[in-house]
Structures are given as structure tokens and as C-alpha cells.
Amino acid sequence: MKDCLFCKIAAGEIPADKIYEDEQVVVFRDINPKAEVHLLIIPREHLAGLNELESEHDALIAHIMRLIHPIAIDQGLESGYRTIINTGKDGGQEVFHLHIHLLGGRNLPGFG
């Protein structure tokens, strides 16, 4: 999608610290990390967020979900990690291209 930051990152038009990519997914470091490890997992396909998911995306979502564990292990997060998906303005979503935050490491902040 034109003028979408994460589409441009997926296409390599804007640089990012990518740690994994395949035909469907790109994983890169958040530019403003909230934890020792803070990655963003995005589909290459432009989907604004969870509210845009349809049954045609089921295989993509399963692929993304099953990627989280090996990526966490690759990042040294054997003892645990947190995943967050912000949805919509009131959900704190700032970039309207679906992404999963993968956070881990010491001093993971709590909620509230």
C-alpha cells in the first residue's frame, strides 16, 4: 500500500534492522525498543490490523503465530516473552499495518 511505513520496510524501501524474512513475513527490531528485545512481526501483505482479517488470511496468521516461538528462541528468550497487538486508536495503534510486538529480556515492564 502506498504511504504505509511497514509496507515500505517490507519492500526494502525504508531501512530496518531485519532479523528474519520469508515470502509472507518480515521481522525487524522496533526503532524505539521498550525492552531488551523488541521485535515487530509483520505480514508482507498490507492489512491495517486485526479488524481487517478474513478467512482468506487464516494460513498467513497461523504461519505468523507459529514463527513466534523459533524467533524468540533465536533471540535468547527461552525463559519467556510477551506478545502484544495494539488495535485501533484507543488500543494504542500508531502504525496501521498489522504487527505483533515481541518483547523480552530482563526488566520487561508490567502493565499499569
86 binds ligand AMP (CB under 6 A): yes
Strand partners, 21: 26
By CB under 5 A, name the one of 18, 44, 46, 57 that touches Zn ion.
46
Q: Which of residues 73-102 bind Zn ion (CB under 5 A)?
A: 97
7 binds Zn ion (CB under 5 A): yes
109 binds ligand AMP (CB under 6 A): no
By CB under 6 A, name the one of 92, 109, 110, 112 that touches ligand AMP.
92
**Given the rule CB under 6 A, which of 18-26, 29-37, 57-65, 71-79 is the region that contacts ligand AMP?**
29-37
Q: Give yes or no: 99 in active site.
A: yes
In whole angstroms, the minimum distance from the beta carbon of 36 to Zn ion comes to 27
Contacts made by residues 61-70, CB under 8 angstroms, sequence distance 24+: 63/24, 63/25, 64/24, 64/25, 64/100, 67/20, 67/25, 67/27, 67/41, 68/41, 68/100, 68/102
Closest C-alpha to 17, from 5, 29, 2: 29
By CB under 6 A, name the one of 32, 55, 79, 107 that touches ligand AMP.
32
30 binds ligand AMP (CB under 6 A): yes
CA angle 65, 66, 71 (to 5 degrees): 95
- At 4, list the grid cell: 504505509
Strand partners, 104: 37
Task: Tell me which residues are annotated as active site.
Answer: 99
